Each structure stands twice: as structure tokens, then as C-alpha cells.
Chains A and B, each alone.
Chain A
Amino acid sequence: MKLTKFLLSLIATIGLTWFLNTSQNVKGAPIPALGSLFSPFQGYWRNGKSLTDKPSDEMAQGIKNNVKVVYDDRQVPHIFAENVEDALFVQGFLHAQNRLWEMDFITRAAGGRLSEVLGDRPIRLGLSTIDVDKIQRRRGLIPGAEKTVKEWQADPETWALVTAYCMGANAYIAKLDPRDYPLEYKIFGVKPEQWTPLHMSLLATYMALDLALGESDVQATNAKALFGNDFDFIYPEYFPEQQPVVPVGTNFGTAPAEKDATSTIMSDKITPLSMIDFPSIHEDLQPDASNGSNNWVVGPSKTKNKNPILCGDPHLSLKMPSIWYEIQISTPDMNVYGVSLPGLPAVIIGFNDNIAWTQTNVGQDVADWYSMKWLNPNRTEYQYDGTTRKVDLRVEDILVKGVGIIKDTVKYTVWGPVVFDNDTMPNANMAFHWLANDVSKSSIKTFVQLNKAKNYDEYAKALEGFNVPAQNFAFACKNGDIALHLGGTFPKKAKGQGRFVQDGSNSANAWKGFIPKSMNPHYKNPARGFVSSANQHSTDPSYPYYFNSENFDTYRGRIVNQKLSKMDTITIEAMKKMQNDNFSLMAQEALPIMLNLLDTAALSTDMKQIVSELSKWDYYYEANKSAPIYFEEWFKFFYDEVWDEILSRTDKSRILKPTTWRTIAILRGDANNKFFDKIASSDKKETAKDLLITSFKSMMAEIPKIQAEISKNYPKTPQLIWANYKDTEIPHISNMPGLGRSHIANGGYGKAINAIKKNHGPSWRMIVEMTPERPRAFVVYPGGQSGNPGSKYYDQFVDSWSKGNYYEAIFMRKADEKLPTLTLTQEFKKVQ
């Protein structure tokens, strides 16, 4: 009896201890080892670092001289080193110290290694971690990243920077006790790994995925098949009011010959009914179509103090921790301040004593699909210029937590990998050609050169080494020069090439090399006194090379130019106001026409009330207004009814959507256009007037649902106002509930300069005045310097950012400057 009792207790003890020390899988969701997680000696409690903790001095192996770091009251480190390599070593160390999980998770996501952290489980609508990992491998990202590493290695100067940074990151990782692993490692039960050049290259790949993957080849091909001769009417590539990045009238010079090489474009040959089927995962994994940004520089002639002022706000998906880490790096030949990407060296957007620069995305289409003529059922042989070619095979091992290794064989053609390789969708088995897999990514040297640049020539020279993702680099110099250069590698294309799926059996369909960097669109010190960009067309059609995108912005660029051309004696305060401006040019262009055509006689009193509110609205998407809600919903329903030709189809996700701008232009031009006729009603011919009435009523029917949602999210302040409707949130980078911020109230939307959407928007706001004495900068980002959800510095800046407030950056000249806001110092002492 005693023995039985003893054995029972023994089994219970061992069983419970084992259970609490092992990760479990409950209905596909991994539950961490609860004992380790809850233990106050090793679990999450330890991550709530005491708020008075000071950074400890470090004995660092690998630096040539001692390095000093001074922290200000916002935890921004100011690194003072004797040489660039030492500075980057410490930058790597600080990135790992503050953002290790972020660096690690992003690179695993880009490298198709999510399953090894998350196990096999659904992560997005209908997609599992394994699906997503497979796609990343099949896009050829890893060989592409390996290629970049080889190119870094081939250049001793770059390699020295890369190794110094990695050594610094690894110095931190090596001394990290498992008890002090960042919270997320404890929750997912995984370990950090060594930071390598491949990790850096994959992080650059992640940025390229976000900013340079945009293409609509299949959708455009299908739209052309569907609309035939109307295609060019619905989807024009240019429009006169455009205001491209480089102003109309700029002389681009003459391109070397050979630009008009012929290209057989598949869409010209297919009949209107042959639509290309494509797995929906392709759509699901496209980057956010609204990835964009604003930048502008006003020259001395337009500012109050006669100094140039540079402003930038790159828009990205909003995540906690932020994609940016603020930093100052000072060496004898460089003193730069700005934001860095944790995982990569140098300052990416910022300023130094002499110049300031800030980027927006160019967004040209550099990803193309090629339809293959497969010669055998296994699709291992294909036709190419009349000969038979065999695919190269690459086996990818995908490690899945709790399952083991899953193998996936990826086929490579002359064009690139076959991303969707299956028997059920014969015409989806296309080859994928992406610029980012061809050329070196994140030109580390470019940024170090920019960080050191003293004038226009050094800035322009630095950009020559930059490849992908292509950016509009706005520039201001202390001497008064202002400029804007497109930095990036652009393929030479025949007209229309890359807009549609192309025939992969013909080498003539290849890009015709790359546009010489000297021909990249650019302009300097324009007569209008300012430069600007907001993801619109790079140039007007007079540019000697063809480029394309279905996603160029049509509103923000025009708003910026409108405002700046009217402004004079500009101050920093005026620029702050402008970056937070919620004006909608789209509403101003569309709403009067819509109200004018709306037959109010058919509306109820309630509805007339709304019409009256809309007609009094000033087109500002302010947080506390309800008119923007009515307009957004009304336009959404109207758009859906106009384009019922597409949206009533089951394959609608694979057909290109006409732009908002074009839809409004058609409405303005001809309210009786045939596209306003509903295809479902054959007996009646509808006009825009009919659609505006029905869509207005649909909007009214939607309002109670919206109100219910608002009451759920904002039980204390359930007003029907724009901020509550938009419901801005900043989710955790691994989508862990509770570790992000939700229900943040603010104004703005995607088509306003203040482009804060639900979970997308200005990821960094910077205003720099290049005064002769010392640059004055005002900055803010939606996050905080610490990546630790248990730190008060994790989300420190979110509220300021949401309200449109800024912090003045502390630009130090010497390590021993005495300022009240400098709180802590940390020494890195060299070890022999």
C-alpha cells in the first residue's frame, strides 16, 4: 500500500515536472514550457528588467580602440569611436542588445524559416507557416541572399564593415545567459543564433520583399483578356495632371541606342477568354499596396532662416518593436544621426554636419513572370529559343518544430525559380524573375558613404552603388544645395515589357541589361525651390526608358507640391504641421461630383442629414469627424458597383483593379459611361447617378454595423468618428496578442500626407534644418528604443507619434558634452 502510494506520487511528480518543462502542442498552437516560462528565476519575470538598470561596461574582443556610448533620456545611443569598424561593432552589439528577437524573426521570415519557430500552424487566412516558408524558398530568396554575401565578400572595404558589425552582434549574443533571452525566445522556446553576413543579406531581402516585389503581371494580363480594347482606357499608364517625381520639363539627356529591342508580350496573343489561373497565395503574400512615403526638401529661398529644411516620413507596416532604431555614430571622419535597421550597419535615413537625406520608395516593377513551354509532364524540361533546356534543382530543407524536416525541391529555369509548381493549375507554373535575386542588396558601402558625405557630389557618388529596393533619395546640404536622385538599379525594358506575363520560351523577352546609373532620373536646385516625392511616377513619358508599375501614387505627391508651391518663409513648425496634414485631395476631387450627381429627392430625412454633413466637410480626415466615414464607405460601395465587371467574378483577386484616380476621372468625364451599367441587369442601362444612389443607401445600411464595431472597441467613447472607425493598431512583429498597441486614436489616412492607416503609416518622421552651426532635427517614430515588451522604453514614443508631436534630436559633437538630457554612459574596452 505504502509502495503504491509512493509510486503514484513519484509518477505524479515526474509527470508534472516533465509536462511543465516541455513545449506542448494544443490544437496546432504551441504552448511554451510553462515551468520555465513562469519560473521567476529564469522565465518571463526576469524580462521585466528593473527600470533603473544601467547598461554595464563591456570588455569587447575585436575592437581596435575603446568606444564610449552616451545615452540620452530617450535611450538613443551616441557612439563615439576612433574608427568606423569599431563604431559598427558597437552598433551591432546595441542592435542585438535591444532588438535581437526582431532581427532574428525577420530574417527567419525572409529565409523561409518561420516553421522552425512557430511549428506548423495557420498564420494568415488559410495559410500555414509551412506554406509561407515554401513560398519564400520558391521565390529563390536564399540563393539570392547568398549571392549578395559573395559580392560583399569580394569587396574588402564592405567585408570589413560587415564583419565588424557581425562581431559586435555576436559579442552580445555570446554573453547572453538563457535566463536573459528576450521574452519572445522564452515564449516560443527557441534559441538565438549567431548573426552572420547571410542574416544581414536576408534582412536586406526582407526590405526588398516589402518595397520592390510589387508587380501585377497576372492581374494585368487577365484584365487585358477581360477588357480587350478598353484596357488602355481603364488602365492608363500616365495621366497629364500627374506631377512625376522629377518635374515635367527636366532634360534627361540622351540614352544610348538599343532601347527599342523587340519583345513578344504574351498578353498580345491571348484571346479575351484565356485568363491565367494563379494560386491565391500569390495575392495574399504581395507587399502592402500602400507601402509608400513622403519626402521633400525646401531650399534656402523658401525658408525663414534661409537654410534648407529636409522632411521625410517613410510609410511601412506598423510593428512593435519598430523597424527603426535611432542612433548617432561619431568617428573622426564621420558624425551621423538618424535611424538604422536593426541587423544592418550604418544610418539608413538621417543627417550629419553637412548633409541630410531621406528616402521614399520608387516602386517601379522589377519582378516579372514568364510563362514556360514545358516539354514533359514533370515539368523538368522546357523550350528555350527552339532548344530543350533542363531545369536546375535545388532541394530546400524546411525544419518544422515538433515535426522534423520537410523537403521541397525547387526548379530553376534561365529566368529564375518556378514558384508555383503544380498539376492543377497548368498555366500557373511560371518562372519568376526578380531583380533583387540578381543584384547585391542593401549596399552597405552606399550608406556608410552617405553617412560620411559632405556635399552633393559625395551624395550622388554614394548612390551609384545602390541597387535594390530603389529609392527616391531627397537631399539637402548646409551650403544650400537641394536635390533628389533615384538610387537603384533599373532594368532596361521594351515598351510594355514586364507589365504582363511574358513568353518564357524566347530569350528576346529578357531585360535588355540595366539603365546606366548616370541616367537614373534626378534633379538639383530646381527653380521652384523645392524637391519632393511621394511614390508617384518617377518621370513623365519623355524619359528615354520604359518603366512601369500599377501602383504609383496619384494623390500625395500632388498635395505636397500644391502646398509647398504656395508656402514661403517656411519654418520647422510649418513642416511639422504639414507632415501631420490630413487633407484628402481625392475627396476634394470626387465628393463634389458625387454630391452633384446624387438625386437627393430619393433620400430619407436621415440620409439628407448625412448629405448636408458631407457637403459642409472640408476634406480633412480629422480624428473627431464623421464625414470621412460616410465618404469612405460611400465611395467603397460606389467603386464596387462601378467595377462589377471585375468584382462580381469569382476570380476577381486575379484581375487588376482600376485605380481610384481613374474611376473618379471616368465619373468626371462621362457619368453615362458604359462601365456604370450594371452587368447583372440586362434590361436597364444604369448611369453613375443610379450607382451613386444605391451605393449611398448601402453606406447608410452599413453605418449601424460600423457603430456596433466602434462600441465594442471603444466602450467608453463610442462616437461615430474617424479615429474610432480607423482604429489604428501596432501589432507585435510576431503577431503575439497583448504585445502590441491597439485602439490608437488619430486622424489621417493613406491618401493624406499624414498617411496613418489601420496598421500602416509613417514609420519615422524627421525634419532637419541644415543650419550653418549645427543641424537642428525633430524626430519621432511609433515605437521605442527597447525591443523588450517588459520595458517602459518599448512603446515610449507611440503616443507622441499619434498626436503629431516630435522630439528634438540631440546631435552631439563630442563624447564629453554636458547636457542635462544625457543620462548614462557605457564603455566598450578593447581586449587584447
Chain B
Amino acid sequence: MSDKLKNKLKFTEVQNQIDNLKNIDHEFGNIKDKAFDIDAHKAKVQAAGVTVKDKLLTNLKGSLAIALLGILAQILFPWWTIAIVGAWVGYWFADTPSRSFLYGFISMFLVWSIYAGYQSAANEGIVANAISGLLGGKVSGTQLIYVTGLIGGLVTGLATMTGTQLRSVLNK
């Protein structure tokens, strides 16, 4: 290795170190600036998906919102309003699109299948068996409860994902 080359390397190294120091100083300044706004900082961290706990909290809140608003909407309005509820909740409780889909899906899957199962139990499964017979016996009365959950879950999950994506489009 020639001296000239050694010198050049040394220079680059020093130069890098100086750059690093500059960066640290810059970031420190930034943190100092932002440190006054703790809530905003937390929000930023949440949005970036920093802690698992926070993410779960968002999903849980979203799920609950979908369940409660969804039930209310379906008592007052036609069933498809669950899509509007899903999109709205997905916008305000945004996670990654796939996670939003998942919590939307699970939430309405549970609402529809539990409510269907509850009504079916009170009726000793008579109506479920009738529908099962109508479908040629290919789906059992119990399986119909899961099919029901699947339909509600799919619509809501897709809607929640769409809401989340709308948010990321608008926040760009």
C-alpha cells in the first residue's frame, strides 16, 4: 500500500468521523426540539409501529369499535353498513393494512358467528338444519355458523383495510 493511499484512507476515516459527529449533534438537536411534545412523539412512535404492546392496543380498540358500532349499525340499518363502520374504524385505528384486515375480520367474524350461534341454540338448531337441508346437506347446521362469521368477517376486514389505506394515502 503506498503512502499516498494510506493518507487518503486516513483522510476518509477522519472525514467519516466528523460526519458522524455532525449527525449525532443534529439528531440530538432534533430530539431536543421534539422532546417538548411528548404526546406527538408517542404518536409518531406508535405510527411507526415501535412497540408490540401499543400495536395490540390499537387493534383491540379497533376491534371493539367495530363490534360496538357494527352491532349498533346493524340494529338500525341494513347489514351492509358494517362496511362503512369497518372503513371508518380502519381509518382512525390504522395499523398495517394486513393487520387492520385481520382485526376487522376477527371482530365481525365473532359478532356474526356468536349471534348466529346464540339464536340457533335458543331454537335448538331447527332453522340451521332447515338451511342445511336446503343446501343439500353439504354444510352442517354448525358449519353454517362459521360460514356466517366468514361472510361478516370478510366484508368488514376488507373495509377496515380500505380505511387504513385511505389514511396512508391522505397522510403521504
- Interface residues of chain A, those whose CB is within 8 Å of chain B, are 2-3, 5-6, 9-10, 12-14, 16-17, 20-21, 34-36, 38-52, 183, 187, 736-739, 789-792, 794
Contacts and interface: CB of A to CB of B under 8 A. Distances in A.
A46 B75 CA distance: 13
B74 A41 contact: yes
Nearest to B113: A40
Contact of B119 (A9, A45, A52, A789): A45
27 contacts: A2-B165, A6-B162, A10-B165, A13-B155, A13-B162, A20-B151, A20-B155, A34-B151, A38-B147, A39-B112, A40-B112, A41-B115, A42-B79, A45-B115, A45-B116, A45-B119, A45-B128, A48-B127, A183-B127, A183-B130, A738-B130, A738-B132, A739-B130, A739-B133, A789-B130, A791-B126, A794-B126
Contacts of B97: 5, 9
A40 B148 contact: yes
Contacts of A49: 123
Contacts of A737: 133-134, 136
Interface in B145-171: 147-148, 151-152, 154-155, 158-159, 161-162, 165-166, 168-169
Contacts of B74: 39, 41-42
- Of A34, A44, A50, most buried by chain B (CB within 10 Å of CB) is A44
B49 to A, nearest CB: 16
A18 to B, nearest CB: 8
A655 to B, nearest CB: 39
B135 interface: yes
Contacts of B133: 737-739
B3 interface: no
B134 A40 contact: no
Contact of B127 (A5, A41, A790): A790
B126 to A, nearest CB: 5
Nearest to B141: A48
Contacts of B152: 38-39
Given A34-B151, A39-B151, A48-B126, 12 more contacts: A5-B97, A5-B165, A13-B159, A16-B155, A35-B155, A36-B78, A39-B148, A41-B74, A41-B75, A45-B127, A45-B128, A738-B132
B154 A16 contact: yes
B120 interface: yes
Contact of B80 (A9, A21, A738): A21
Given A9-B162, A38-B151, A39-B79, A738 B135 contact: yes
Given A2-B168, A48-B123, A38 B148 contact: yes
A6 B169 contact: yes
Given A45-B116, A51-B122, A183-B127, A35 B80 contact: yes
A792 B126 contact: yes
The range of chain B's interface size is 35 or more
Pick the 4 closest A-B CB pairs, nearest first. Answer: A738-B133, A48-B127, A790-B127, A48-B123
Contacts of A43: 79
B124 interface: yes
Contact of B158 (A9, A34, A41): A9
Given A13-B83, A40-B112, A48-B120, A35 B162 contact: no
Contacts of B116: 38, 40, 45
Interface in B90-124: 97, 112, 115-116, 119-120, 122-124
Nearest to B90: A9
B172 interface: yes
A736 B134 CA distance: 7
Nearest to A53: B122
Given A9-B162, A17-B83, A35 B124 contact: no
A35 B130 contact: no
Nearest to A739: B130
B151 A45 contact: no
- Of B79, B133, B152, B154, most buried by chain A (CB within 10 Å of CB) is B79
B137 interface: yes
A242 to B, nearest CB: 45
Contacts of B130: 183, 738-739, 789-790
A45 B148 contact: yes
A38 B109 CA distance: 12
- Of A14, A35, A50, A792, most buried by chain B (CB within 10 Å of CB) is A35
Contacts of B168: 2, 6
A51 B172 contact: no
A5 B165 CA distance: 7
Nearest to A18: B80
B165 A35 contact: no
Nearest to B168: A2
A17 B156 CA distance: 9
B89 interface: no
B14 interface: no
Contacts of A13: 83, 86-87, 155, 158-159, 161-162
Nearest to B115: A40
Contacts of B128: 45, 48
Contacts of B80: 17, 20-21, 35
A21 B113 CA distance: 19
- Of B80, B130, B133, B159, most buried by chain A (CB within 10 Å of CB) is B130
Nearest to B133: A738
B131 interface: yes
Interface in B59-87: 74-75, 78-80, 83, 86-87
A192 B125 CA distance: 26
Contacts of B135: 738
A80 B49 CA distance: 70
- Of A2, A17, A794, most buried by chain B (CB within 10 Å of CB) is A17
A205 to B, nearest CB: 29
B130 to A, nearest CB: 4
Given A16-B158, A35-B155, A737-B134, A40 B165 contact: no
A44 B136 CA distance: 16
Contacts of A35: 79-80, 151, 155
A17 B84 CA distance: 10
A791 B125 CA distance: 10
A9 B137 CA distance: 34
Contact of A44 (B115, B127, B172): B127
Interface in B6-47: none
A75 to B, nearest CB: 15
A44 B161 CA distance: 28
- Of A12, A39, A44, A51, most buried by chain B (CB within 10 Å of CB) is A39
A39 B75 CA distance: 11
B127 A47 contact: yes
Contact of A2 (B123, B161, B172): B172
Contact of A187 (B86, B134, B165, B169): B134
A187 B116 CA distance: 17
Nearest to B122: A50
Nearest to B150: A38
A51 B158 contact: no
Contact of A6 (B123, B155, B158, B165): B165
Contacts of B125: 48
A183 B79 CA distance: 17
B148 A51 contact: no
B134 A739 contact: yes
Contacts of A21: 78-80
B141 to A, nearest CB: 10
Contacts of A39: 74, 79, 112, 148, 151-152
